[in-house]
Amino acid sequence: MTSVLLYGLVILSAIAHAIWNALVKSAGDRVLTMVAIRTAGLLLGLAALPFVDWPAPESWKWLALTSCVMFAYYALLIRSYGAGDMSVVSPLARGLAPVLMTIAAFLAIGESLSMGQMMAVGLISLGIMALSIGAGASRGAVGFALATGVSVAAYSFFGGLGVRAAGMVLGFQACLEIVTGLGMVGYALVTRRAQIPDYVRRHGGIDLLAGVISVVGFLAFLLAARSLPLGPVVALRETSVIFGAVLGTVVLKEGFGFRRIAASALVVGGIALLAVLR
């Protein structure tokens, strides 16, 4: 695939993640919502497993690390939603991740970017974080947001290395969905068993749909991460915050004031720069 097509897939991944994030934000029981979403991933992973090749043994350590960090990410994300306003927490977390990813990729695997690519990542990250300016936040909320950003960068980094070592995308993701799905289902059965039947009756359908969207979005990310620089790929994926703001304006009739306009302009500038530098 050409780099333009792959970057386009990542933008589709960002849109999918924005929809997923909106569903999780609006959930009454975020823990069980996350479990339901990962259950969809588990079912899709099990369905795909007979038809895909197993990832190469060299990727198994990255699969294990990605899974562990994802569990931490789920916990931090749920805690972040309870600690502060999402207009602050989400942009800080999502804006920090591309910068951390770019630094980690350079230090760990020597993946260097051109000056233009670094400017693009910087513009996108700045645009995302600009959504939090002036919104106000407690120290606790900021702390959870930053920790969530670290976890996003970490699981994206390990997942990118894993899919490169695996030799294929579908086999790696199928195994990842199974491992994380089993972990979340096991956690729910131990801690929330009594609430599961009623929750499934009321919300199961929409959450399973969100799970399918999540799987498709992460598949697009992994396809791009296999061959493109990780920093720009993560930067594009985290534009989900901007798409979320647009969805809020179109669907919920929220205002799209100067802050959102300025943030969107910075992000669009970064995306355009990446397109020019392909």
The pLDDT value given to residue 129: 77
The pLDDT value given to residue 251: 61
User: What is the C-alpha separation between 237 and 235, in angstroms, rounded?
Assistant: 5
Q: Which of 178, 185, 147 is nearest to 69 (CA)?
A: 147
User: What is the C-alpha separation between 220 and 182, in angstroms, rounded?
Assistant: 22
Tell whether the model's pLDDT for residue 163 goes beyond 80. Answer: yes
SS (H, E, C) the chain: CCHHHHHHHHHHHHHHHHHHHHHHHCCCCHHHHHHHHHHHHHHHHHHHHHHCCCCCHHHHHHHHHHHHHHHHHHHHHHHHHHHCCHHHHHHHHHHHHHHHHHHHHHHHHCCCCCHHHHHHHHHHHHHHHHCCCCCCCCHHHHHHHHHHHHHHHHHHHHHHHHHHHHCCCHHHHHHHHHHHHHHHHHHHHHHCHHHHHHHHHHHHHHHHHHHHHHHHHHHHHHHHHCCCCHHHHHHHHCCHHHHHHHHHHHHCCCCCCHHHHHHHHHHHHHHHHHHHCC
How far is it between the farthest Cα atoms of the chain? Answer: 55
Mean pLDDT of 209-220: 88
* Mean pLDDT value across the chain: 83
Summarised one tens digit per residue, pLDDT across range 190-214 is: 998 899 888 888 877 888 888 888 8
Please say whether the beta carbons of 219 and 169 come within 8 A.
yes
User: What is the C-alpha separation between 269 and 249, in angstroms, rounded?
Assistant: 21
Higher pLDDT residue, 8 or 1? 8
Which tokens sit at 36? 């339901």
pTM exceeds 0.75: yes
Which tokens sit at 65? 């690390």
Summarised one tens digit per residue, pLDDT across range 235-246 is: 888 887 777 767
Summarised one tens digit per residue, pLDDT across range 41-93 is: 999 999 999 999 999 999 999 999 999 999 999 888 877 766 656 666 777 77
Which tokens sit at 41? 């991933």
